[in-house]
Amino acid sequence: MYIIVGGTGRVGSAVAKALLAEGEAVTIVTRNAEKAGAWRRRGAEIALADVHDVASLRTVFRRGKRAFLLNPNADISSDTDREERETVRCLLEAIEGSGLEKVVAQSTMGAQPGEQCGDLSALYELEAGLRSQPIPASIIRAAYYYSNWDAMVGPVTKDGVLSTMLPADLTLPMVAPEDLGRVAARLLQEPIGRIGIYPVEGPERYSPNDVAAAFAAALGRTVRVDVIPREAWEDAYRRLGFSDAAAHSYARMTALTVDGPEYPEDAIRGSISLQTYIDELVRGSS
């Protein structure tokens, strides 16, 4: 049995679908009972549990042998750093004494130590915690999600403007959640001793200009990039509903992304192109 934390999200659901397609037994951990029926029809079992309830989560882990761990995004109106660090602590505590023989965890290419830099530090702490415990663990360091652009489909369709904090010509590794899910499913099925850190990105690297071009092709209209200046980032996040603490943290994370880590050249490459993803996004929104 494979236990999937965050199985109703984009990446977690892709992991679950890939395993179910191969006839594997899957239990999805979720707080959302409304989504249980659809997954049961696919053949999955459902465990209703909160990731912050360590005892309940450990009980779920004891049902299986291998688990996919994902640190869900905290509510943006909260202190997201504090909330996500607490989630990491709970995940690490829950696998203690669980009997799991292997875990695969989702991280990011930009993971690094620090304070008030969003997911980058929380996921670094997840990686560090997994390295310091005895269960064999593989880490996926994911590129920038294509799905980060999902919220732009409405504004781009309406006004032909793609707003971003990233420089228009900044080329980044990007990846489809479905490609991440397929890689995670494969790593979960590999021999126990085959572990490591696995960077994953799409077939090419892309810039916001490329994203605008993909939307333009999908919509059949001109799309221009509107770059939000650095000094306006925190206010922009606040207008989206982020708390002051979260806006500051996400602005710092954005700056670290723009100023750039060195990205690996030996990443696992997914097969889904940005254009394919945007085409499907636009079709699904119409």
Burial of 95 (0-12, 13-18, 19+ CB in 10 A): buried
Write down the pLDDT at residue 165.
Answer: 97
Q: Is the pTM here over 0.85, yes or no? A: yes
Instruction: Return the DSSP state at 141.
Output: E
pLDDT digits (tens, 9 = 90+) for 176-203: 999 999 999 999 999 998 999 999 999 9
**Who contacts 125 (Cβ-Cβ below 8 Å, separation ≥6)?**
85, 88, 113
Write down the pLDDT at residue 35.
Answer: 73
Closest CA to 252 of 112, 108, 109, 105: 112
For the segment 100-129, the average pLDDT, to the nearest whole number, is: 93
Q: How confident is the model at residue 40 (pLDDT cuts 50, 70, 90)?
A: confident
Q: Which domains does the chain have, with CATH numbers?
A: 2-146+175-203+261-271 (3.40.50.720)
pLDDT digits (tens, 9 = 90+) for 138-148: 999 999 999 99
**Who contacts 96 (Cβ-Cβ below 8 Å, separation ≥6)?**
58, 133
The SS3 of residue 163 is: strand
For the segment 72-93, the average pLDDT, to the nearest whole number, is: 94
Conformation bin of residue 196: beta by default, left when phi > 0, alpha when psi is -120 to 50: left
Write down the pLDDT at residue 241.
Answer: 96
What does DSSP say about strands 205-206 and 172-175: parallel, antiparallel, or unpaired?
antiparallel
* Residue 246 confidence (pLDDT) above 90: yes
Task: Sheet with 45-48: list strands edge to edge.
Answer: 45-48, 26-30, 2-5, 66-69, 102-108, 137-142, 197-201, 268-269
Write down the pLDDT at residue 173.
Answer: 97
Write down the pLDDT at residue 146.
Answer: 97
Distance (Å, whole) CA 275 – CA 80: 32
Residue pair 139/130 in contact (Cβ under 8 Å)? The answer is yes
Write down the pLDDT at residue 52.
Answer: 92
* Residue 65 confidence (pLDDT) above 80: yes
For the segment 76-98, the average pLDDT, to the nearest whole number, is: 95
Burial of 200 (0-12, 13-18, 19+ CB in 10 A): buried
Measured CA angle at 32 (ends 42, 74), to 5 deg: 120
Least confident of 5-9, 110-114, 162-166, 211-215: 5-9
Closest CA to 177 of 275, 121, 123, 106: 106
Distance (Å, whole) CA 121 – CA 108: 10
The SS3 of residue 63 is: coil
Write down the pLDDT at residue 6.
Answer: 84
What is the percent of the chain where pLDDT is above 90? 85
pLDDT digits (tens, 9 = 90+) for 216-232: 999 999 999 999 999 99
